């Protein structure tokens, strides 16, 4: 019969699964979901682990769907497949130890995610292959499990806190101080478990771990702040109302009840700032996407606005999208578009795309100003005869 510890695990797991996104990221896969699944594989028999994850996911389902944190179909498929993956990983890794369990679970999760994503989305589903990076959260879950197993609730709490800090430090942007602090805390706890055993060491390590976590938060900077705003989206009460996508900030951006009125499937976008201005040179060939958006990338002067997805999946470019409803107002004064090398000032909604590797973008862009032209000809003459890279 489940006890208090099992109930606590289920409750914490439901909150962790609520952090999942439509597609995985390059640092933690589907949020904190992998970490609690890995913990379940280590702590319970396969059948029990699957049942606890199923219960946790069922509790998380309203948060994911009602806040529009993910597409409903993603939430439902995840509810069905995660318990299966946990059960399979538990059976396949039996007797192999924690490292084997982590590798097997990561492999099973990636296989399931990639198969379903490609069948449903086609080529665009390839981003589901990033699910493998959930394995980066395994050391945190393992450390929490080891601490809890020996009755060290403080150590388990510190390991869990380090996991959350790591997730927030790498959600899209990279906060180096917070990332270093989270890794250092896990290393300390591991060292304590293997070598430095005793009350005196425990007290010193606890104090040092708390200090490191505090320093990581304080020095986390705008990257940690912006990541936190997007990552904690399901826990913001405003996101359960019609005001979740409202533009209320005075300034260059027009007031709007819904900034995504002209944007398809806005559940894939997490708002970080409803009105942000950035400058940079156009770094690729502008084109029209399948949904009609006018799209291009810029090399921003503020490089910290680039997420891991931008650096590794977009060649270091900040993605810009102008929706069809804004063509006349935004692109009209520019002669219809921009050219590679143009220096621009772009203002719009700064978001993380949870459906494409968690890269950052301005979407939609409300205004674009050309500060310096790269050529004597404008759009579209500047790109005629130039092939768009695949």
Digitized pLDDT (tens) for each residue of the chain, 390 residues in all: 568 889 999 999 999 999 999 888 889 999 999 999 999 999 999 999 999 999 999 999 999 999 999 999 889 999 999 999 999 999 988 878 888 989 999 888 888 887 877 776 666 667 777 888 999 999 999 999 999 998 889 999 999 999 999 999 999 999 999 999 999 999 999 888 777 565 656 788 899 999 999 999 999 999 999 999 999 999 999 999 988 899 877 677 888 889 998 888 888 999 999 999 999 999 999 999 888 999 999 999 999 999 999 999 999 999 999 999 999 999 999 999 999 999 999 999 999 999 888 999 999 999 999 999 998 888 888 887 665 554
Neighbouring residues of 65: CB distance < 8 A, sequence distance ≥ 6: 72, 75
Nearest CA-CA partner of 267 in 18, 71, 65: 71
What domains can be seen in the chain, in order of their start residue? 4-232 (no CATH), 266-372 (2.40.50.140)
Which neighbouring-strand residues pair with 107?
Answer: none
Whole-angstrom Cα distance, residue 311 to residue 318?
9
The pLDDT of residue 378: 85
- The answer to whether residues 326 and 263 touch, using CB atoms and an 8 Å cutoff, is no
The pLDDT of residue 123: 61
Name the phi and psi angles at 27, rounded to 5.
Answer: -120, -25
Whole-angstrom Cα distance, residue 23 to residue 67?
17
359-372/287-288 β-pairing: unpaired
The pLDDT of residue 135: 93
Whole-angstrom Cα distance, residue 390 to residue 205?
51
Q: Which two tokens stand for residue 59?
A: 């509790």
Neighbouring residues of 144: CB distance < 8 A, sequence distance ≥ 6: 39, 155, 156, 159, 160, 163
Helices 221-231/176-194 angle, 10° precision: 80
Whole-angstrom Cα distance, residue 179 to residue 182?
5
Nearest CA-CA partner of 26 in 136, 117, 182, 123: 136
Nearest CA-CA partner of 227 in 165, 277, 276, 185: 165
The pLDDT of residue 200: 55
The pLDDT of residue 124: 64
> What burial class does residue 256 get, using C-beta atoms within 10 Å of its C-beta: 0-12 exposed, 13-18 middle, 19+ buried?
middle
Q: Which two tokens stand for residue 309?
A: 């997805």
The pLDDT of residue 291: 86
Whole-angstrom Cα distance, residue 164 to residue 220?
13
Q: Where are the alpha helices (DSSP H) in 122-198?
A: 138-149, 153-170, 176-194
The pLDDT of residue 390: 46
């Amino acid at each position: 019969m489940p006890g208090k510890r099992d109930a606590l695990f289920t409750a914490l797991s439901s909150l962790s699964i609520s952090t999942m996104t439509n597609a995985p990221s390059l640092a933690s896969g589907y949020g904190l979901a992998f970490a609690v699944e890995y913990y379940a594989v280590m702590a319970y028999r396969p059948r029990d682990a699957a049942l606890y994850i199923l219960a946790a996911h069922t509790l998380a389902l309203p948060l994911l769907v009602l806040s529009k944190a993910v597409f409903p179909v993603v939430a439902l498929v995840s509810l069905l497949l995660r318990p299966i993956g946990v059960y399979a990983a538990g059976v396949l890794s039996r007797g192999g130890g924690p490292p084997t369990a982590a590798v097997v679970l990561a492999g099973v999760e990636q296989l399931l995610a990639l198969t379903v994503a490609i069948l449903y989305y086609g080529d665009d589903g390839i981003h589901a292959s990033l699910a493998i990076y959930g394995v980066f959260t395994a050391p945190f879950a393992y450390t929490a499990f080891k601490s809890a197993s020996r009755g060290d609730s403080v150590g388990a709490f510190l390991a869990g806190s380090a996991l959350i800090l790591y997730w927030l430090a790498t959600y899209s942007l990279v906060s180096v101080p917070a990332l270093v602090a989270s890794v250092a805390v896990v290393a300390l706890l591991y060292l304590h478990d293997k070598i430095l055993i005793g009350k005196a060491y425990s007290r010193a390590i606890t104090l040092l771990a708390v200090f490191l976590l505090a320093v990581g938060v304080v020095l986390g900077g705008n990257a940690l702040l912006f990541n936190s705003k997007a990552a904690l989206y399901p826990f913001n009460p405003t996101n359960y109302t019609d005001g979740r996508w409202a533009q209320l900030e005075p300034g260059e951006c027009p007031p709007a009840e819904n900034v995504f009125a002209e944007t398809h499937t806005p559940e894939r976008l997490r708002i970080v700032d409803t009105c942000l201005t950035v400058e940079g040179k156009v770094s690729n060939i502008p084109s029209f996407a399948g949904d009609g958006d006018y799209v291009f990338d810029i090399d921003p002067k503020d490089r910290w606005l680039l997420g891991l997805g931008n650096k590794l999946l977009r060649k270091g470019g900040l993605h810009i999208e102008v929706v069809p409803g804004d063509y006349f107002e935004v692109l009209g004064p520019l002669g219809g578009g921009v050219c590679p090398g143009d220096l621009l000032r772009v203002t719009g909604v700064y978001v993380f795309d949870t459906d494409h590797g968690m890269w950052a973008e301005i979407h939609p862009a409300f205004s674009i100003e050309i500060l310096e032209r790269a050529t004597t000809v404008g759009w579209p003459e500047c790109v005629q005869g130039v092939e768009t890279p695949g």
